[in-house]
Structure 1
């Protein structure tokens, strides 16, 4: 799991490169690729804040909306046996496969800590 930083309602994923001895991150949930780095945690936080401030200023100058728009549509590839099980579960509950998948995702998001632990045990 990546660590996250938060500043002005923006989140960033954080990683560390042992080879380069540098922390680096990427602003999450925006249309553009904005990265930053620092050799210390405090340097990384400062670079993240500067990156967010620069991104907001650039978007204003370009009259552009900074947040990424989520359309609510995406493709998911699953093994055929899982597809079959999900379709059967949906049918048993008298709902569409799409409704079943939405409910499953909502459940997973609401139980993120449990899901994260399960994934690491597998």
Structure 2
């Protein structure tokens, strides 16, 4: 099955391919904060998504903010 969605730690992202730059671009859905990531391969894209979400948690903890949760977790 082919899907343009990825999931990590309860967050979901839409993935598109930028033909001009030859990279995959991901956008985390369901939250107001803007979380984006990219990669040249599926492996790189997956790692980039994991890093993006993990960094978001770290940043929220650092500033004392509760991370927004994906609408699927409401």
TM-score band, normalised by shorter chain? 0.7 to 0.9
Residue matched to 1:26: 27
- 1:16 equivalent to 2:17? Answer yes
* Cα offset, 1:62, TM superposition: 1.2
Q: Which aligned segments of 4 or more residues in structure 1 are displaced greater than 4 angstroms?
A: none
CA contact under 8 A between 1:15 and 1:25: conserved in structure 2? Answer: yes
Normalising to structure 1: TM-score of the pair?
A: 0.52
Normalising to structure 2: TM-score of the pair?
A: 0.83
How does 1:75-94 map onto structure 2 within 5 Å? none
Residue matched to 1:62: 63
- CA RMSD, 1 decimal: 1.8
Q: Whose helix fraction is larger, Structure 1's or Structure 2's?
A: 1
CA contact under 8 A between 2:26 and 2:38: conserved in structure 1? Answer: yes
Unaligned runs of 5+ in 2: none
- 1:6 equivalent to 2:1? Answer no
* Cα offset, 1:31, TM superposition: 2.2
Q: Identify the structure with bigger relative contact order (alpha carbons < 8 Å, sequence gap 6+).
A: 2
Aligned residues between the structures = 69
Report the Cα distance in structure 1 between the residues aligned to 2:31 and 2:59, rounded to whole angstroms: 13
Higher-Rg structure is: 1
Unaligned runs of 5+ in 1: 71-122
**Which secondary structure does the structure 1 equivalent of 2:17 belong to?**
strand
